[in-house]
Amino acid sequence: MRVLVSDKIAKEGIDILKSELKVDVRTDLTPDQLREIIKDYDALVVRSQTKVTKDLIECSNLKVIGRAGVGVDNIDVEAATLKGILVVNAPEGNTIAACEHTFALMFAVARKIPQAVSSLKSGRWERNKFTGVQLSGKTLGVIGLGRIGKEVAKRASSLGMNVVGYDPYIARENVENLNIKLTDLDEVLRTSDFITFHVPLTKATRRMIGEEQFKIMKDGVYIINCARGGIIDEKALYDALVSGKVAGCALDVFEKEPPEDNPLLSLDNVIATPHLGASTAEAQIVVAEEVAKDIIRALKGEIVKNPVNMVSVRPEEYSFILPYIRLAEKMGCLYTQLKNGRIQEVEMIYGGRLANMDVKLVTTAGIKGLLSNILQVPANLINAPIIARDRGIKITEKKIKEDEDAPGTVTMRVTTDKEVGTISGCVFEKDSPRITGIDDYKIDLIPEGYVLITNHKDKPGIVGKVGTILGKNDINIASMQLGRKSYRGDALMALSVDEEIPESVLKEIKAIEDLKDAVFVKL
Ligand SMILES: NC(=O)C1=CN([C@@H]2O[C@H](COP(=O)(O)OP(=O)(O)OC[C@H]3O[C@@H](n4cnc5c(N)ncnc54)[C@H](O)[C@@H]3O)[C@@H](O)[C@H]2O)C=CC1
Ligand SMILES: O=C(O)CCC(=O)C(=O)O
């Protein structure tokens, strides 16, 4: 497995990658050179510099893309997802670094520190020119109250600032003990003396602050952007700075980086840093280590800690859920080999301990299994939900909260244009998944290897005849499971065999009188 690291990350992360993989560090590549070599790599690690475009993704054979940091706006996550490429990031490692940089910028812009330093170093002593404003007693507007926004709010309160915040996606309880007034965007803009941004760059946040929003703000407001260029319309910001509406602005990020001849940099009341929010020794080590570990996990097929485009499991539930992920995939895989019809709806029903857990990844694994035998390029845990959606398959989850101390149970109920079928399963002991039911038949099948499944009449002789045909063809039976609806009624047999059953032998089995159907499946 080969990993390309195309932006500079800490040595600690490289060392982790090198302990298990072949690693090339090439931080000097042009987009064309990157495109040229990307097909040779299984994983790509970037920071914010490399643009991982749709075009690059499509000509790659990548299995995972790692972002040593939070923002993934330089990665076309949708294109990666469609191609089944996992994207991971390292969202926690640089929270404090970005928060502290926000304050470094806030103090610096309020007290005109960079301008004063520059003046002093050029031989001047201009004490009156650099009178600033104090933070204490002022209102700070925090836009985006995720990891960084909350840390900023906490520290602002301890500086004696009043904090108002806007984040329509967080629960009020989430900021309850933070001394923040959570309100709408207009009120934050109208009441704040300082406004700081901590939202990701998305379709909704791109240019969320423009001419209209500046009009609402207080005269003499200060703006700090340590999140992403593009959130604030740079032309509108320039005009607001020139008119004096905005007294000062501190930018760590720009719509185009490096900003080159960005007019904002020509203004005296703008201070700026070259995207340094995450640039502390401590943060860089943590994000590099985190992303390296997830790259290795992903390439080993293990569950990663920080997936961006795949549902995750709670860390404390990981070891319990893992065998159910394997089970659900086998259930889906069994279903499509056993049944016909266009799949319209899949309901995943969870019982026992699973009913209290976050089981989205188990559901996704079931869908992956269902799609595994019918597509040219197999689905995986990343693209299975999108493929299902595009094929018009409705997916639902139901949790039956009765016997919550019992081991978890999973039932996959599939509605096609022909019938409704179910496959049920359970994990009896750790790591021992079993199929416990097919439609109304109870069985106990280890979902592995080759299995012959017959539907026949419950009467003496049929099992023997199947065994004789298999024996005659030197096919060894490993185990046998029988389930029936009623005495001498319909029955189902699941025979695990050690060899593949050729079509000709299957035809012979199907010809047995009172045997309605026989299907050979590979699990
Ligand atoms: N300058 C730098 O070096 C760094 C910049 N960043 C930037 O900071 C951003 C925030 O990072 P975290 O706090 O770790 O992310 P986070 O995901 O924990 O928080 C983002 C918050 O923004 C909120 N949000 C999303 N859309 C919104 C909208 N339309 N209006 C209001 N709120 C909205 C979300 O609900 C969430 O609470 C990152 O996405 C990244 O772009 C992060 C680290 C370093
Ligand atoms: O990698 C960097 O230095 C940028 C950090 C950043 O912007 C992020 O983590 O979103």
β-partners of residue 479 are 496
Whether ipTM > 0.95 holds is yes
Residue 18 pLDDT class (50, 70, 90 cuts): very high
d(CA 184, CA 215): 16
306 in a structural domain: no
Q: Which residues are catalytic?
A: 228, 257, 275
Please tell me the predicted confidence (pLDDT) of residue 352: 94
In one letter, which amino acid is 491? Answer: A
In a mutational test of the pocket of ligand 1, which residue from 70, 75, 273 has the highest number of ligand atoms less than 8 Å from its CB?
Answer: 70
Distances (CA, A) of 486 to 440, 453, 491, 515, 517: 11, 18, 8, 16, 18
CB of 278 closer than 6 angstroms to any ligand 2 atom: yes
CB of 165 closer than 6 angstroms to any ligand 1 atom: no
463 in a structural domain: yes
Instruction: Tell me: pLDDT of 376 over 90.
Output: no
Residue 176 pLDDT class (50, 70, 90 cuts): confident
In a mutational test of the pocket of ligand 2, which residue from 5, 100, 275, 280 has the highest number of ligand atoms less than 8 Å from its CB?
Answer: 275
Q: Are residues 517 and 393 in the same domain?
A: yes
Look up the CATH number of the domain holding residue 220. 3.40.50.720
Q: Are residues 288 and 237 in the same domain?
A: no
Host H or E run for residue 2: strand 2-5
d(CA 46, CA 49): 7
305 in a structural domain: no
Residue 402 pLDDT class (50, 70, 90 cuts): confident
Average pLDDT over residues 29-38: 97
The CA angle 219-220-224, to the nearest 5 degrees, is 120
Residues 339 and 414 sit within 8 Å (Cβ to Cβ): yes
Please tell me the predicted confidence (pLDDT) of residue 407: 85
Note down the domain range covering 183: 95-272
Please tell me the predicted confidence (pLDDT) of residue 313: 85
228 in a structural domain: yes
State how many domains the chain has. 3
Residue 95 pLDDT class (50, 70, 90 cuts): very high
pLDDT tens sequence across 188-198: 999 999 999 99
Q: Are residues 78 and 107 in the same domain?
A: no
pLDDT tens sequence across 381-393: 999 999 999 999 9
Q: Which of 272, 307, 327 is the last residue of a domain?
A: 272
Instruction: Tell me: pLDDT of 73 over 80.
Output: yes
Residue 295 C-alpha from the chain's centroid: 13
**In terms of pLDDT, which residue wins out, 242 or 175?**
242
Q: Are residues 382 and 483 in the same domain?
A: yes
Q: Directed axis angle between helix 281-299 and helix 11-20, to 10°?
A: 20
CB of 469 closer than 6 angstroms to any ligand 1 atom: no
pTM given for the model: 0.84
What is the residue-averaged pLDDT of the chain?
A: 95
> What number does the ligand 2 atom closest to the CA of 279 have?
3
Helices (H), 167-256: 185-191, 211-216, 234-243
- Percentage, residues of the chain above pLDDT 90: 90
d(CA 71, CA 56): 19
Q: Are residues 7 and 106 in the same domain?
A: no
Q: Are residues 220 and 333 in the same domain?
A: no
465 in a structural domain: yes
Look up the CATH number of the domain holding residue 482. 3.30.1330.90
Please tell me the predicted confidence (pLDDT) of residue 355: 94
- Rounded distance from Cα 235 to ligand 2 centre (Å): 24
SS3 (DSSP) at 25: strand
Please tell me the predicted confidence (pLDDT) of residue 403: 79
Residue 206 pLDDT class (50, 70, 90 cuts): very high
Q: Are residues 195 and 265 in the same domain?
A: yes
d(CA 99, CA 105): 10
Q: Are residues 212 and 294 in the same domain?
A: no
Instruction: Tell me: pLDDT of 404 over 90.
Output: no
d(CA 449, CA 454): 16
Please tell me the predicted confidence (pLDDT) of residue 315: 81
- DSSP assignment letter at 500: P
Q: Are residues 134 and 67 in the same domain?
A: no
Task: Using only the alpha carbons of the chain, give its radius of gyration.
Answer: 30
Q: Are residues 109 and 251 in the same domain?
A: yes
Residue located nearest, by CA, to atom 1 of ligand 1 = 277
Q: Are residues 426 and 357 in the same domain?
A: yes
Residue 458 pLDDT class (50, 70, 90 cuts): very high
Length of the chain: 523
The CA angle 471-477-482, to the nearest 5 degrees, is 115
Please tell me the predicted confidence (pLDDT) of residue 415: 96
Q: Given phi > 0 = left and psi -120 to 50 = alpha, else beta, which region is 304?
A: beta
307 in a structural domain: no
492 in a structural domain: yes
Q: Are residues 239 and 326 in the same domain?
A: no
308 in a structural domain: no
